[in-house]
């Protein structure tokens, strides 16, 4: 079959730097005319058997000629390379532009993962797995990413011989499922994978001599296999497989470490076969801790070697060199491996060398499909506010959208798990049942983490001086705002009755509030106050009822209903001040949840409580702090849907509301037992002072 390739003319090719074993000592040794001749011959040869697209060469990018490293193109999708070496990173923009302009969907690997496209990947032509080399350039984590992106099986192969630093150099996959490979380039596990999956008659272990001519970097099209050089034995094998062998000298390009396959990117490879649902993604990770004289010569190298020689990769997560004679050195090593079995081998090596790890081979959680919409299978696991992980498909998955009273739904093809409310379950959703393979992670107390801010203990105390509480809450709010964090406010109508409205308004205006959650009443009373200066008919300045005041709140509701919404009333000039006016003007979102006590209700009040809960959940997502101001109903409602770790401040005159919130088990709940109007007044004053201090420091 005639294929389609992308190549880059060799106009600017040279060896200018050294980023692989072949380049060493070859700087500036490329002969441009010879290189040009070799490239022209390769181009002519490939064009006889395939269609070639060309990209313009760029003077500053000598390695652009190695187009095989541009990306991995499968179907219409191109996973762009993120080169391991800085020297090649500027190529990425050039490849991205060409692939995009030529109709490929560009897929970017996460920032912190190196991936070198088709140089490190080979797709089995027979609907088998996608093979991926790692160890020198591409990182093991890229396998996980590819498996998810294409929903296919990825077999990671650990490259261990520096002369064969990428997969094309030692693994030549040919049509019909035939393979040329050089066994010493792989570790034991990888060899076992190759030998297990490809029958002996379909694979040929090339000699070192052929391997060093980069014969595995073979380009195949239209039944013709193009390599730089081949021994008679190799020619015989290819002949027996029914292939026509053609050789063309590529000596100048081998100075840069590449040959035929590395110089042409295949553009017409099909999308890989989708994996069956039971497939195990390739990555397992663990953290290993060491303590002792780690800086002794050779010791660290030995540890790192113990990981890489068994097929894993490592990253130093943390290292403390200690103090001689006083404090031992410590090391936290993050290890990744392609399978649980490999991880166990690596860990036993590290444990022999004094490592400690809490890695355990977890039993997978039992996942059962929901038999009908909105109903969980019997024995389902009910979630808590604490961060939770569930084990399936070979690794732990941290739950998304953690909240109380949900169930765990696993999405095996996407490789993640989410906390879902029972009513939102869909028939067939995979729900975790029982307790096996599920663990909760209780966050360390802030004191243990050495935070400079110490949140108050969750024991409510009316004696606690309100000023002290306000001081620390204001300080935390100031910090959250400065770093662009989120503070949600839950508020009841008492805020208005007690004269706290103008202070809350200031907080909104000054960017301390990211969302406001409440019920019908706070909006009605705030708008009534804006229109009449009263709250439930009581003049807020004088604290006395006004004549006809009992009509104010329903007249208010009627007016807003006529306008259609609070925002429309603000636009039409019907509401000109107050908390809700400020929310609309500043664009801070709000949600009003209905209740059986509501008059009206206002058009903005959501009377479908399931919808109201969804709106609340959306508005508190990602909040760093939630300020709960005098509403038992809404504060407790919000508390139930908030994951642990979010700082809750509960201001109420009644200790029982605060206690109820603290009883959820949240260690970050701060009760402030006081009048909410007074609290807001003090809080605003303190924040205003902090703002002035900060400005004067800047000036």
| Binding flag, residue 212, ligand NAD (CB under 6 A) | no
Is the dihedral angle over the CA atoms 324, 328, 332, 337 positive or is it negative? positive
Judged by beta carbon, residue 280 or residue 595, the one nearer ligand NAD is 595
Q: Figure out which of the listed residues 129, 282, 492, 501 binds ligand NAD, where binding follows CB under 6 A.
A: 492
Query: Which of these, 580, 637, 635, lies nearest to 614 by C-alpha position?
Result: 637
Residues 6+ apart with CB under 8 A from 341: none
Site for ligand NAD contains 653 (CB under 6 A): yes
Q: Is 598 in the site for ligand NAD (CB under 6 A)?
A: yes
Of 254, 517, 521, 531, the one binding ligand NAD (CB under 6 A) is 521
Q: How far is the CB of 488 from ligand NAD (least distance, A)?
A: 16
Does position 534 interact with ligand NAD (CB under 6 A)? The reply is no
Q: Which residue is nearest to ligand NAD (CB)?
A: 519
Considering beta carbons, is residue 435 or 465 the nearer one to ligand NAD? 465
How long a stretch of residues is the chain?
699
**Cβ-based nearer residue to ligand NAD, 201 or 541:** 541
Residue among 630, 642, 666, 670 that touches ligand NAD (CB under 6 A):
630
CA-closest candidate to residue 216, choices 252, 187, 254: 254
Place of tokens 């093991």: 140
- H or E segment at 634? helix 632-640
Single out the residue of 138, 631, 642, 666 in contact with ligand NAD (rule: CB under 6 A).
631
Cβ count near 85 (within 10 Å): 14
Q: Which of residues 26-65 bind ligand NAD (CB under 6 A)?
A: none
Total site size for ligand NAD, rule CB under 6 A = 23
Rounded Cα distance between 529 and 48, Å, is: 84
Spatial separation of the C-alpha atoms in residues 493 and 680, rounded to whole Å = 14
Q: How many CB atoms within 10 Å of residue 640?
A: 14
Min dist CB 650 to ligand NAD, Å, is 9
Q: Least separation, in Å, of the C-beta of 543 and ligand NAD?
A: 13
Query: Applying CB under 6 A, which part among 152-160, 171-179, 516-524, 562-570 lies near ligand NAD?
Result: 516-524
Q: In angstroms, what is the minimal distance from the CB of 654 to ligand NAD?
A: 3
Among residues 277 and 656, whose Cβ is nearest to ligand NAD? 656
- Beta strands in 522-675, from DSSP E residues, in sequence order: 534-535, 538-539, 544-545, 590-593, 605-606, 625-629, 647-652, 669-673
- For residues 50 and 43, what is the distance between their CA atoms, to the nearest angstrom? 10
* 642 part of the interface to ligand NAD, by CB under 6 A: no
Residue 130 or 521: the one with the smaller Cβ distance to ligand NAD is 521
Q: Which stretch binds ligand NAD (CB under 6 A): 276-284, 342-350, 509-517, 647-655?
A: 647-655
Q: Which of 296, 599, 689, 693 binds ligand NAD (CB under 6 A)?
A: 599
Query: Which of 149, 595, 614, 640 touches ligand NAD by CB under 6 A?
Result: 595
Q: Is 681 in the site for ligand NAD (CB under 6 A)?
A: no
Does residue number 494 form part of the binding site for ligand NAD (CB under 6 A)? yes
Q: Is 632 in the site for ligand NAD (CB under 6 A)?
A: yes
CA-closest candidate to residue 241, choices 194, 204, 196: 204
Cβ-based neighbours of 432, under 8 Å, separated by 6 or more: 365, 366, 367, 380, 381, 390, 407, 408, 409, 410, 417, 438
Cα 358 versus chain centre, distance: 23
Does 683 contact ligand NAD by CB under 6 A? Answer: no
Residue 520 interacts with ligand NAD (CB under 6 A)? yes
Q: Does 192 bind ligand NAD (CB under 6 A)?
A: no
Told to check if 675 binds ligand NAD by CB under 6 A, we report: yes
In whole angstroms, the minimum distance from the beta carbon of 470 to ligand NAD comes to: 14
How many other CB atoms are found less than 10 A from the CB of residue 689?
Answer: 11
For residue 93, give Cα distances in angstroms to 87, 98, 133: 13, 9, 23
Tokens of 572: 């039409």
Chain residues in the site for ligand NAD (CB under 6 A): 492-494, 498, 519-521, 524, 595, 597-599, 630-634, 652-654, 657, 675-676
């Amino acid at each position: 079959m005639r294929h389609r390739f992308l190549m880059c003319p060799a106009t600017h090719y040279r060896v200018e730097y050294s980023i692989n074993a072949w380049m060493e000592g070859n700087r500036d040794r490329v002969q441009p005319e010879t290189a040009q001749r070799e490239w022209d011959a390769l181009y002519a040869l490939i064009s006889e058997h395939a269609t070639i697209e060309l990209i313009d060469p760029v003077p500053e990018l000598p390695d652009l000629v190695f187009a095989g490293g541009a990306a991995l193109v499968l179907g219409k999708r191109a996973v762009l390379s993120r080169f391991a070496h800085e020297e090649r990173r500027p190529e990425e923009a050039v490849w991205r532009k060409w692939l995009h302009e030529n109709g490929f969907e560009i897929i970017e690997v996460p920032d912190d993962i190196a991936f070198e496209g088709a140089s490190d990947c080979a797709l089995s032509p027979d609907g088998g797995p996608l093979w991926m080399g790692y160890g020198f350039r591409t990182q093991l984590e890229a396998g996980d990413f590819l498996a998810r992106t294409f929903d296919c099986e990825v077999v990671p192969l650990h490259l261990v011989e520096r002369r064969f630093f990428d997969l094309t150099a030692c693994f030549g996959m040919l049509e019909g499922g035939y393979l040329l490979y050089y066994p010493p380039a792989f570790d034991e596990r990888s060899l076992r994978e190759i030998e297990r999956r490809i029958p002996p008659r379909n694979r040929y272990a090339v000699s070192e001599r052929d391997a060093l001519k980069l014969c595995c970097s073979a380009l195949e099209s239209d039944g013709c296999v193009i390599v730089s050089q081949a021994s008679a034995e190799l020619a015989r094998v290819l002949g027996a497989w029914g292939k026509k062998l053609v050789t063309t000298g590529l000596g100048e390009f081998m100075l840069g470490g590449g040959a035929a396959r590395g110089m042409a990117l295949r553009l017409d490879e099909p999308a890989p076969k989708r994996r069956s649902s039971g497939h195990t993604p390739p990555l397992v990770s663990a953290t290993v801790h060491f303590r002792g004289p780690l800086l002794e010569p050779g010791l660290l190298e030995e540890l790192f070697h113990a990981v890489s020689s068994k097929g894993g990769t490592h990253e130093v997560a943390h290292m403390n060199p200690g103090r001689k004679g006083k404090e031992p050195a410590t090391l936290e090593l993050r290890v990744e491996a392609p399978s649980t079995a490999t991880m166990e081998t690596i860990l036993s090596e590290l444990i022999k060398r004094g490592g400690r790890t809490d890695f355990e081979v977890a039993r997978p959680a039992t996942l059962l499909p929901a038999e009908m919409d909105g109903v969980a299978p019997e024995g389902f696991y009910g979630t808590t506010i604490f961060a939770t992980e569930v084990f399936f498909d070979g690794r732990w998955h941290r739950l998304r959208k953690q909240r109380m009273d949900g169930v765990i739904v696993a999405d095996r093809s996407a490789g993640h798990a989410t906390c879902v409310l029972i009513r939102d379950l869909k028939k067939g959703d995979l729900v975790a049942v029982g307790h096996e393979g599920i663990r909760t992670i209780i966050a360390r107390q802030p004191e243990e983490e050495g935070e400079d801010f110490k949140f108050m203990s969750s024991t409510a105390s009316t004696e606690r001086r309100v000023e002290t509480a306000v001081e620390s809450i204001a300080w935390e709010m100031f910090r959250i705002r400065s770093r662009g964090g989120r503070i949600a406010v839950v508020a009841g109508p008492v805020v208005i009755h007690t004269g706290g409205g103008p202070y809350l308004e200031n907080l909104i205006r000054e960017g301390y509030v990211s969302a406001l959650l409440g019920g019908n009443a706070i909006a009605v009373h705030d708008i009534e106050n804006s229109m009449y200066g009263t709250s439930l008919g009581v003049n807020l300045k004088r604290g006395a009822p006004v004549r006809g005041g009992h009509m104010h709140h329903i007249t208010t509701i009627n007016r807003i209903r006529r306008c259609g919404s609070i925002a429309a009333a603000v636009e039409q000039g019907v509401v000109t001040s107050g908390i809700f006016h400020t929310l609309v003007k500043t664009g801070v979102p709000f949600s009003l949840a209905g209740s059986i006590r509501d008059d009206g209700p206002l058009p903005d009040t959501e009377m479908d409580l399931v919808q109201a809960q969804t709106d609340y959940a959306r508005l508190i997502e990602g909040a760093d702090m939630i300020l709960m101001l005098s509403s038992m109903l809404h504060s407790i409602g919000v508390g139930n849907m908030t994951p642990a770790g979010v700082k809750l401040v509960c201001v109420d005159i009644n200790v029982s509301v605060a206690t109820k919130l603290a009883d959820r088990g949240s260690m970050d709940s701060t009760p402030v037992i006081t009048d909410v109007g007074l609290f807001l007044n003090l809080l605003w004053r303190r924040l205003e002072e902090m703002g002035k201090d900060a400005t004067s420091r800047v000036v």
